[in-house]
Chain A
């Protein structure tokens, strides 16, 4: 209503022509329509999920008046109905987001319903992760055929559940296969960038990759890979994504915090004592080495292909190279932990300077925090009397409050 009022006012004041006013009104009308259809999509998907869960529960009642063969035929019905619906959507309703998304979800639910029913009919004792594997594998093509973003997100979640259930088993490598196809799809929607769902994707992608690396957390190479992933995330978050906030751009912040955290871990002497064993590399470490090599190649590719060559913030991603050098040094010299301390201090000061220059309090505070955490952690690890520790804590705390107060006032004044 207020738009109409504003347009009328602009028209009477002769700021815009009648044609422009018409165009503007049209534009907002269309936009409202898009929002409505998006809302419809959300409710349609929620409906499909509820109906799917309902059918599963009805099946769980166990209809024992049917014979085995009758039940076997029944097992197909939800899937086949879903497929017929999917065929109809592909043929006649392909341009409607709501129809496509629902069809993909319905077929995917049809698959799991059929699997669950068959395992009930024949009293099969299977791991749920076994069913999950087939559910995901048979559903992945659907996200490409129907361009279904919600099913893609759903499969990301299922893959993570699969990984959690197979954390210490060799079957967890299937997760890599899922991840490959899901990331390929994710890359496609990241290119178009016009759906809000992309933010959820960014979070689940970060989560999936990190969890995967943690499941390998058995030898030093995985630690290097973790550093590689953090650096890559940071590079992508800075160069490829315009958004700044932590919700919309998790890559940048997870990457940065991860880089600092790994250097902090390296700043202890005891950490490097453990690493003596690192270079013996016992056991099966080949898959980790392959992952690391892929990461390094990706990292170099991203570093060479960044858009703004002289961006200051990019310099944090170079710490990956420094980290690798530390590892090589750490094998021969015992003073590497001192270098790691200097590195954390360097990152912290660099972030503070950057935050100060660009008037970004978040960067400034992250830098400050990393320096303070470095100090605090080392006060815990050394044999320092309590009284000095207490004084040091109070001083750092007051420093943190004071400098923030000062910076907020300064940034505020300049704005």
Chain B
């Protein structure tokens, strides 16, 4: 009987370690992106306040979320693809190229979902949704933010500072109208 209980307790300790490992792994994985990832500034188009039980968050819509292609078939809305991110002259991020399967070298690569395909002449304009489109915000700050529209002048820029590393992207900071919102 006592041996039985000892067995139970050792299994329980093992299970607790497994449970903690999963949480620790999540934290480690994401922390690594914040530490080692390359910084990109994603210019904001608009924000959309939402509310779920995980907390209040902004749904972020980015300006440069399209890529235009010629002669590229076999893409569908909802499909998962991989894109390479680069910086433009103003220092903001844009989609440089598109991959159907994840490439060998994952630097500056993130997985995205196709949300829209527009055909203009011979060109196909593909709109995607980035995986880092949520930003959790303190609920009292959120109430103040809700009334403020997004502007994009050189003096008061609105963008998300995103770290990208090995196929993962995490929003590190959010700047709306030149003001730092949170991290």
Contact = CB atoms under 8 A, between A and B. Distances in A.
Interface of A: 56-57, 59-64, 68-69, 72, 75-76, 79-80, 83, 86-87, 90-91, 94, 107, 110-111, 114-116, 118-125, 134, 138, 141-142, 145
B56 interface: yes
Given A61-B139, A90-B8, A123 B171 contact: yes
Contacts of B56: 60, 62
The 7 closest A-B pairs by CB, nearest first: A60-B55, A122-B30, A83-B16, A62-B138, A114-B23, A125-B134, A120-B136
Contacts of A75: 23, 27
A62 B12 contact: no
Contact of A138 (B8, B18, B31, B131): B18
B27 A72 contact: yes
Contacts of A94: 5
Contacts of A110: 19
A123 B136 contact: yes
B183 A116 contact: no
A125 B133 contact: yes
Contact of A76 (B8, B23, B34, B183): B23
B22 interface: yes
A118 B141 contact: no
B77 interface: no
B34 A68 contact: yes
Interface in B16-54: 16, 18-20, 22-24, 26-27, 30-31, 33-34, 53-54
Nearest to B160: A123
A141 B9 CA distance: 12
B139 A68 contact: no
B134 A123 contact: yes
B23 A142 contact: no
A63 B182 CA distance: 11
Interface of B: 5, 8-9, 11-13, 15-16, 18-20, 22-24, 26-27, 30-31, 33-34, 53-57, 131-139, 141, 170-171, 182-183
Nearest to B26: A118
Contacts of B23: 75-76, 79, 111, 114-115, 118
B9 A56 contact: no
A367 B29 CA distance: 62
Contacts of A56: 53
A60 B53 contact: yes
A124 B9 CA distance: 34
A107 B171 CA distance: 30
B37 to A, nearest CB: 12
A111 B15 CA distance: 12
A62 B22 contact: no
Given A69-B31, A124-B30, 12 more contacts: A59-B54, A61-B139, A62-B56, A68-B31, A86-B12, A87-B13, A90-B5, A118-B23, A121-B30, A122-B34, A123-B170, A145-B15
Contacts of A57: 53
B59 to A, nearest CB: 9
Nearest to B15: A141
Contacts of A121: 27, 30
Given A90-B5, A138-B22, A145-B15, A64 B31 contact: no
Contact of A115 (B26, B53, B132, B183): B26
Contacts of A118: 23, 26-27, 30
B159 to A, nearest CB: 15
A123 B54 contact: no
Contact of A124 (B8, B20, B134, B182): B134
Contacts of B34: 68, 122
Given A72-B27, A138-B18, A145-B8, A62 B55 contact: yes
A72 B19 CA distance: 15
Nearest to B171: A123
A142 B138 contact: no
Contact of A120 (B16, B54, B132): B54
Nearest to A122: B30
Contact of B22 (A64, A116, A125, A134): A134
A48 B9 CA distance: 22
Interface centre among A63, A76, A124, A145 (most CB of B within 10 A): A124
B15 A60 contact: no
B12 to A, nearest CB: 5
Contacts of B182: 64
